[in-house]
Structure 1
Amino acid sequence: MQATTLALVGATGGAGTTRTAVELAALGARDGRDVAVIDAAFTTQGLSEHVAGRIGTDLTALLTDETDASLSAAAYPPDDEPSERGGDLDLPGRADLIPARAPFERVARAKTAEAARKLEGRIGEAATAYDAVVVDAAPVGSNEAVAAVTAADRVEAVTPATAHGRDALQRLRGRVADVGGSVDGTIAVARAGDSDAERDEDETAADTRLPAVDPAVGSAPAAATGTGAYVEALAETYERAFDASLGIEFEEPGLVDRIRS
């Protein structure tokens, strides 16, 4: 069955899950698809940093105080120029971010088991409104993360491309299995500044390895227009995860590029 909803679950904090989710949405929109990113990492609320402009209604409000509102009430475009608080992406398709941005009291109510059941319903609602849905989830240890894993068609783990990341992946597999799910794919994210001792050089350790990219929020989404190795690896990830074929062409590397690589 072709996957419509994909849960990206970080094996560790700071693995690059949120950035990867935003990039996959931008890549899908670049190919003419409508893609949503749902924030199921209520503690960090990192997706909100990628939103253009002020956030009013957020996802936690839809799960607590505004349960009758449509999902679109909390959908916002990603910001392609956060430093200038400006440019919405101009792409053939639509990339919508559905962030969590709330005070502690509402976050606490959104983390209950009842709210998690409503989150599952919101993920299902998104699946009917978008061509693809990416759920950004923290390591499985909260009700909202469990809801993301159990509601999604496919689960992919996001890990740092380090030996520590590989160890964390094994722990995550166990946690996902404990809630009746499975990890269907893995994405290892290289980070600038990792030492040779930290770096995991095993090319078979993950289904996709994303090269290091500028970690600043302002550098995302690179997939909206980029054609480099990072975006090409993202395209491979999107096609594998959603069993889809993207019509984005990448230039063959020249002789100098091949020598450098």
Structure 2
Amino acid sequence: MHDAGSADGTDDGDRTDSDRTGGANIGALVGAVGGAGTTRCTLEAAAALAADGADVGVFDAAYATQGLADHLDGRIEPDLTALVTDAADAPLSDALTTLDCEAPGRVSVCPAFAPLERFARAKAPDAARRFEARLNRASERFDHVLVDVPPVAANQAIAAVNAADRVVVVAPGTTRGADAVQRTRTRLEHVGSGADFVVATRGAFEAADCEVPASEVTDPASVPSCLDEGGPFAESVARLAAGATGRDVSEAAGSGGLLSGVERYVK
């Protein structure tokens, strides 16, 4: 279902610094290779933050795969690519869908779901600049903004890391994944950015700050699952959420819930 307004009931309303709970406002989760699990990590981290009471905006910069749309019900119109091309003047709220996530906070998703012609135009330099402006505007609305970013080889991916306060590199826990992390670090340096946190999925490698194991839940309709699944998967997602935002989750840790003990991971 589409979210017709901001968290306070106004259309694209601003949130002041006093409304926020701290931490990095925009986190870009960058896939080092395709199929790394970046979309899943982004949604699970958003759910973990919502469990801590945050309102989170999730944006899809992976125009080619459009993976976030697989986890949403209902019609998607306009989508993110429209907001940076044909519907550049439309309010952000027109393209937000509330994720089904039972938590004190809320997760609002802005997916990409477009025909080939439009997502090709959405990758142009002027559209990427509009995307970066949309992210900065969203940072005034949400406690945290998370961006699902493909490998850094397109304008919208560069726009996402430029806007980000923290960049998380996601790679499969294999030798191929570890090599891809090194290539991604180099690409990030070329665009004036860097990797703040590295995540290995479904395996491990030495350079990873966090390892997210395979989940027992594979149905897209049941994602995110960290709030129900528990165990090592939920614990690692909470660590990822802390790495992506630097958010102080000590209050949630005191409740003994999903984020219990995660305060030790926050720097």
**Normalization by structure 2: what TM-score?**
0.83
| Alpha-carbon separation, structure 2, partners of 1:53 and 1:90 | 19
1:26 corresponding residue in structure 2: 47
Choose which of 135, 142, 156 in structure 1 pairs with 2:168: 156
Q: Deviations over 1:49-89 (max 9, x none)?
A: 111222111001110111111111111122xxxxxxxxx33
Choose which of 203, 226, 236 in structure 2 pairs with 1:223: 226
| Alpha-carbon separation, structure 2, partners of 1:90 and 1:48 | 19
Identity %: 46
Q: Give runs of ≥4 in structure 1 deviating > 3 Å.
A: none
How far 1:205 moved relative to its partner? Answer: 2.4
2:38 corresponding residue in structure 1: 17
Choose which of 225, 241, 245 in structure 1 pairs with 2:248: 245
Correspondence 1:44 to 2:65: yes
| Alpha-carbon separation, structure 1, partners of 2:141 and 2:227 | 21
| Alpha-carbon separation, structure 1, partners of 2:187 and 2:246 | 25
2:235 corresponding residue in structure 1: 232
Q: Deviations over 1:132-160 (max 9, x none)?
A: 01010000000000101111111110000
Aligned length: 232
2:149 corresponding residue in structure 1: 137
Moved more, 213-222 or 105-114: 213-222
Structure-to-structure mapping, 1:102-141, within 5 angstroms: 102-141=114-153
3-state SS of 2:56 partner:
strand
Structure-to-structure mapping, 1:48-63, within 5 angstroms: 48-63=69-84
3-state SS of 1:6 partner:
strand
| Alpha-carbon separation, structure 1, partners of 2:244 and 2:49 | 12
Query: 8 Å contact 1:232–1:250 — kept in the other structure?
Result: no
| Alpha-carbon separation, structure 2, partners of 1:56 and 1:223 | 28
| Alpha-carbon separation, structure 1, partners of 2:214 and 2:175 | 16
How far 1:250 moved relative to its partner? Answer: 4.7
Query: 8 Å contact 2:29–2:149 — kept in the other structure?
Result: yes
Code of the residue aligned with 1:6 in structure 2: it is G
Cα RMSD (Å): 1.6
Q: Flag structure 1 segments of 5+ consecutive residues without an equivalent.
A: 79-87, 191-198, 252-261
| Alpha-carbon separation, structure 2, partners of 1:90 and 1:236 | 20
Choose which of 206, 209, 222 in structure 1 pairs with 2:208: 206
2:190 corresponding residue in structure 1: 178
1:196 corresponding residue in structure 2: none
Q: Flag structure 2 segments of 5+ consecutive residues without an equivalent.
A: 1-21, 259-267
Code of the residue aligned with 1:122 in structure 2: it is R
| Alpha-carbon separation, structure 2, partners of 1:68 and 1:59 | 12
| Alpha-carbon separation, structure 2, partners of 1:224 and 1:75 | 22
How far 1:237 moved relative to its partner? Answer: 1.7
**Normalization by structure 1: what TM-score?**
0.85
Q: Deviations over 1:226-250 (max 9, x none)?
A: 3211111111121232121220525
